Amino acid sequence: MGLPLGQRRGPLPVLAEGTHMSARCVMVLGTSSGAGKSWLATALCRHYARQGLKVAPFKAQNMSNNARVVPDLAGGMGEIGAAQYFQALAARAAPEVRMNPLLLKPEADTHSQVVLLGQVSAALTALPWRARSAQVWPQIAAALDALRADNDVVVIEGAGSPAEINLMDSDIVNLRVARHADARCLLVTDIDRGGAFAHLYGTWALLPEADRARLHGFVLNKFRGDAALLAPAPAQLERLTGVPTVAVLPMRFGHGLPEEDGVFDDRPVAAAPPSAGLQAKMASNAGVASASSYLKDSFTHCTPRRIAIVAYPRISNLDEFQPLKNLPGVQLVWARTPAQLHGADWIVLPGSKATAADLGWLRAQHLDAAIAAHAGQGGAVLGICGGLQMLGEALIDLHGVESQAGIDGNAPGLGLLPLVTSFAPHKTVRRTQARFGAATGAWAPLAGVPVAGYEIHSGQTAQHPAMAAKGDLAHALIPRIAWQNAAGNVLGVYLHGLFEDAGVLQALFGAQAPTLDAAFERLADEIERAFAPGVLQALIAP
């Protein structure tokens, strides 16, 4: 496990007598998106933290609608990419905005909201992609320099591929960062896709010669089978490039970390045995004919086993559902058609970076009718953030916050909650602690349960005034944050991170998901087994 945080095995390397040098930087580059950069950087963060070193993650620019709320530089709260948030936890560090100074949140295929050092920048959002680099680089470099001054090791994640030669002149996330940090780099590729050696060689060949020298090792990720079958390719590749293959990492399923860029697989998971508490309840329940019948009834009426999450195009914060994936016996289905909602115990409308546009897509797929039918039959429906806004009666966008080309931000909602949402330029970004009120129906287990999470939303939601005047009221479980319908089966919340809260999981499922810390430990164990002896230490040697 290494030494406790803050204790080191020896003195830091020095530039001159008595002067500590800044952090060593290890950078993970990839031959493509999805090669494995994020998880390898996360594993490295935990590995070096286990050596008693002070470690921080860094990614200059991340493009993702999965964001987390962290302290900013002005004493408030801001946003960073979820991957760097989890990497900070793996490093046993407090997440903050310098770890991901530039976050791009896609709102359409050709448009992203720009978040600089945690805060939305309308001016940068309006700039063309290439024109942005010169303006943001000083802040990116300053953030990296500050982390280097405060830490022993900085683990840097690149983006896409460093060999995207069409973008090299405006690069602020790969080679420019590596040069500025004098980073020692690993290049990882996904061998499961095929062509791994060509990807590695081609990437190396397209790099400027000085940058090739920064590559200290190739990493083959997602390998299935006997690694001996790779010979003689690694040796041939080293003769061509001078770069050794330093690790072969196996294909892994269920590593426990949230996926950054894609939805989870929906392969079924075997049902878990009943918890000790449930077994005791079964044994003491004299009115039940048998333990097996009670278990069947309990799972049918209390604990959801199939959860369908509507996967609209601009889905956001999907990482918050990873704990459900980690629960034995629970199957997640990512639904894009009405047929994929069939048989679901719960339907979840997740967050969205473009609520009005995604609501229009949902209607075009006829998912609105399927959701209404499910709710009409008493089925449980949960809306989170943008999903909550969709569940209401109307979206009002007087300031054009949600309006895009061909999309009107003013739209009728799904009408499952008597609420109305008004959008405004100001974004709510905060961490929140609250307690659920007297929940009923499908969500009754949440009654009185304390919960902690985070909010990221532009709209504000309230009772629909005309419907309220007629007595049609949503039941506020948490003021301005959570509402339930009169029947008790439809719940809308602004709070992200609901299923990351241990108390909520216990209340709804009578179980706990494996902890993130346990996942970080497994990842560190894996790379320590897979990397050639001495490589990980050499990356941070003087």
Active site (catalytic) residues: 385, 496
**Bridge pairing between strands 245-250 and 215-223:** parallel
Instruction: Return the closest-CA partner of residue 494 out of 401, 388, 395.
Output: 388
140: left (phi over 0), alpha (psi -120 to 50) or beta: alpha
The span from the CA of 394 to the CA of 157, in Å, is 41
The span from the CA of 221 to the CA of 167, in Å, is 25
DSSP string computed for 72-102: -TTSSEEEEEHHHHHHHHHTT----GGGS-E
Residue 236 bridge partners (DSSP):
none
Q: Are 64 and 260 in contact (CB under 8 A)?
A: yes
Question: Which tokens in the block code for residue 352?
Answer: 């969205």
**Bridge pairing between strands 67-71 and 77-81:** antiparallel
Quick one: which H or E segment has residue 238?
A: helix 233-241
Placement of tokens 């629909």 in the chain: 464
Which residues contact residue 359 at a Cβ distance below 8 angstroms, ignoring those fewer than 6 apart? 352, 390, 395, 411, 413, 414
Q: Are 154 and 88 in contact (CB under 8 A)?
A: no
The 3-state DSSP class for residue 397 equals coil
Q: What burial class does residue 375 get, using C-beta atoms within 10 Å of its C-beta: 0-12 exposed, 13-18 middle, 19+ buried?
A: buried
Instruction: Return the closest-CA partner of residue 160 out of 119, 109, 104.
Output: 104
Phi, psi of 253, rounded to the nearest 5 degrees: -120, 140
